Amino acid sequence: MKFWSVSLCVFSLLTSAALPAQTDDPNRQLAHDIFKQLVEINTTDSAGNVTAAAEAMAQRLRDAGFAAEDIQILGPNDRKKNLVVRLHGRGAEKPLLLMGHLDVVEARREDWTTDPFQFVEKDGYFYGRGTQDMKSDDAIFLVTLIRFLKEGYKPDRDIILILTADEEGGSSNGVDWLLHNHRELIDAEFALNPDNGAVDTVKGKALMVSMDATEKIYADYQLEVTNPGGHSSLPVPDNAIYHLTDALDRLQRYQFPFELSAVTRAFFEQMSTVEKGQSAADMKAILKTHPDRAAEARLAHDPFYNAMMRTTCVPTRLDAGHANNALPQRATANVNCRILPGHSREEVRQTLIQTFADPKVTVRYVSPTGTISDQAPDDKGAAPVTLRPDVMQPLEQVVTEMWKVKVIPSMNSGASDGVYTDAAGIPTYGVTGVAIDIDDVRAHGRDERVRAESFYQGVDFYYRYLKAVTGGTAKP
Ligand SMILES: [Zn+2]
């Protein structure tokens, strides 16, 4: 995933300049080389090969001195194998899991200024598919483990890194597969997932760092109306398209209830100190025991804040009729919902049915593989993770040192592989050290790029943060 950013109303609140990267040159060079190598291995679902990327990274680890038995390449088929590597610690605690996906979203050469599968260095940026989502983070994880091994660093617990397939799509999700088939290899007390979280900058200057502590649930629903149809010269009121558009009108006017969790409360508390004026006052007002409805309505005008406060559903596709001169026999729409943790997909399906209040409109659940059914899953998504001090305090410390801004706990309104680990009882924290300008979010888009300096800062960040989380001290 990786695509959200805060709204632009906080634009004026720049507090500090980004520091120059503090990594020494050999590590920069190695990080650069691994990043380039990863971008240049096509890992799209259509034509790419995740296994090739996993093998290349395994070779890097072997070359760096990792024992063969600590490196595994496994998966359900030849193209979608995942890498699992373990750095042994002192065993004082249950392991820590680092997770990154190797696959990337499709990219067509003709849409791009540069070749998406060439690592192009231009004007202080690195261009290529995956530079934001998320081969930069994959490379950072790899180089950090290699540095730790070379230094002889012993973390207080084992650090396991998985680089996996099919986060963006495809039918071989690596995290799900590993949890079901090799749980023992990746079992951990908690996980860090840089696919979530953000270092938000404006022209390279830090605004805030967000840490995703929970995720919404993804669901698609198919709305369908059928009708005997007939000749369009003799229209009747009972028309499939009218039924469908009436239902969509009701959906447009319907708002799911306002609801805050511990994480989104913390988010608005922190944001109220970052925002200014009316927005800051509104955030304070919705946190009261009796939330101010007018304040909530004003905040809801911002799509990002709105998504933090409620489940959302929106039509994303529409298809109706079969001829210009015939009454429609069938009209369908896809409605995409992002559901707050604590609510099930079936609960939302029932809410849609009640909202439409039209028995002619059937509402069916569409599974991720496209199966359509009259019943949606009942599970309610994992509860937000607790903000563990041993994760949060080192994070706040390193973020303050590097960017001099706050860490804001947040909820991912998209979806990432964290849904699998959270559901499996491995609480997952979205933490990244790669800064992206809030008006330069290009994940999944054309000419995806990352500022070179941001990448190197990310290298520095994870080295320092991982050491702080595992009981070590980073060399200055
Ligand atoms: Zn991603």
- Per residue in 144-173, pLDDT (tens digit) is 999 999 999 999 999 999 999 999 988 899
Ligand 1 centroid distance, CA of 314 (Å) = 22
Q: Which of 204-208, 224-228, 471-475 has the lowest mean pLDDT?
A: 471-475
Distance 74 CA to ligand 1 centre (A): 20
In the reported structure, the alpha carbon of residue 416 is separated from the centroid of ligand 1 by a whole-number distance in angstroms of 7
pLDDT at residue 138 tops 80: yes
Q: How confident is the model at residue 461 (pLDDT cuts 50, 70, 90)?
A: very high
pLDDT in tens, 52-85: 999 999 999 999 999 999 999 999 999 999 999 9
pLDDT band with cut points at 50, 70 and 90 for residue 306: very high
Measured in Å, residue 1 CA sits from the centre of ligand 1 at 4
Name the band, by pLDDT with cuts 50, 70 and 90, for residue 6: low
User: For residue 258, how far is its CA from the centre of ligand 1 (angstroms)?
Assistant: 28
Q: What is the mean pLDDT of residues 328-333?
A: 98
User: Pairing state of beta strands 159-164 and 96-101?
Assistant: parallel
Retrieve residue 112's tokens.
């791009």
Q: What is the pLDDT of residue 440?
A: 83
457 near 402, Cβ under 8 Å? yes
The predicted-structure confidence for 422-431, as pLDDT tens digits, reads as follows: 889 999 999 9
Mean pLDDT of 248-256: 98
What DSSP character marks residue 465? H
Tell me the CA–centroid distance for residue 167 and ligand 1, in Å: 7
Specify the pLDDT at position 2.
Answer: 58
**Residue 473: exposure state from Cβ atoms within 10 A (0-12, 13-18, ≥19):** exposed
What distance in angstroms lies between residue 93's CA and the mean position of ligand 1's atoms?
29
User: Quick check: 461 and 20 in contact, CB under 8 A?
Assistant: no
Closest of 432, 381, 357 to residue 215, by C-alpha: 381
- What is the CA(198)–ligand 1 centre distance, in A? 12
Q: How far is the CA of 168 from the centre of ligand 1 (A)?
A: 7
- Give 130 Cα–ligand 1 centroid separation in angstroms: 8
Q: How confident is the model at residue 121 (pLDDT cuts 50, 70, 90)?
A: very high
Residue 106 burial class via C-beta count within 10 angstroms: exposed 0-12, middle 13-18, buried 19 and up: middle
Ligand 1 center–CA 154 separation, angstroms: 30
> Which helix H or strand E contains 282, and what residues bound it?
helix 277-286
- Pair type for strands 312-320 and 190-192: unpaired
Q: How far is the CA of 137 from the centre of ligand 1 (A)?
A: 10
| Alpha carbon distance 254, 383 (integer Å) | 25
Instruction: Give the global pTM.
Output: 0.83
Are 472 and 402 a contacting pair, CB within 8 Å? no
Strands (E), 342-384: 362-366, 372-373
- What is the structure's pLDDT at 379? 85
How confident is residue 368, by pLDDT bands cut at 50, 70 and 90? confident
C-beta separation of 344 from 379 below 8 A: yes
Cα 191 to middle of ligand 1, angstroms: 16
For residue 274, what pLDDT is reported? Answer: 85
**What is the CA(132)–ligand 1 centre distance, in A?**
8
The DSSP secondary structure of 101-158, one letter per residue, reads: E-------GGGSSS-TTS-EEETTEEESTTTTTTHHHHHHHHHHHHHHHHHT---SS-
User: How much distance in Å is there from the Cα of 433 to the middle of ligand 1?
Assistant: 14
Flag whether pLDDT at 389 surpasses 60.
yes
* Distance (Å) from CA 182 to ligand 1 centroid: 22
**Residue 253 DSSP code:** H
Question: Cα separation of 139 and 120, whole Å?
Answer: 16
- How many whole angstroms from 457 Cα to the centroid of ligand 1? 19
What's the first-to-final CA gap in the chain, in angstroms?
33
* d(CA 166, ligand 1 centre) in Å: 10
331 pLDDT band (50/70/90 cuts)?
A: very high
How close is the Cα of 417 to the center of ligand 1, in Å?
A: 9
DSSP string, 311-340: -EEEEEEEEE-S-TTEE-SEEEEEEEEEEP
Residue 86 Cα to ligand 1 midpoint, Å, equals 22
pLDDT in tens, 79-90: 999 999 999 999
pLDDT band at residue 22, thresholds of 50, 70 and 90? very low
Say if residue 392's pLDDT is above 80.
yes
> What is the Cα 257 distance to its own chain's centre?
24
> Picking from 23-27, 202-206, 359-363, which range would have the lowest pLDDT averaged per residue?
23-27
Centroid of ligand 1 to alpha carbon of 445 (angstroms): 12
Is the separation of the CB atoms in 190 and 426 below 8 Å?
yes
What does the pLDDT average to over 248-268? Answer: 95
Q: Calculate mean pLDDT across residues 17-37.
A: 76
Tell me what pLDDT residue 12 has: 41
Strands 435-437, 198-202: pairing is parallel
Q: What pLDDT score does 214 carry? A: 87
| Confidence (pLDDT) at 381 | 74
Task: Tell me the one-letter amino acid at 216.
Answer: K
Choose between 92 and 347: higher pLDDT: 347
- Ligand 1 centroid from CA 240, angstroms: 38
Q: How is the beta sheet containing 120-122 ordered, strand by strand? A: 120-122, 125-127, 449-451
Residue 276's SS3 state is coil
Taking the centre of ligand 1 as the mean of its atom positions, its distance from the CA of residue 444, in whole angstroms, is: 9
Instruction: Report the percentage of the chain scoring pLDDT > 70.
Output: 94
What is the CA(369)–ligand 1 centre distance, in A? 19
Whole-number average pLDDT of the chain: 92
- Tell me how far the alpha carbon of residue 165 lies from the centroid of ligand 1, in angstroms: 11
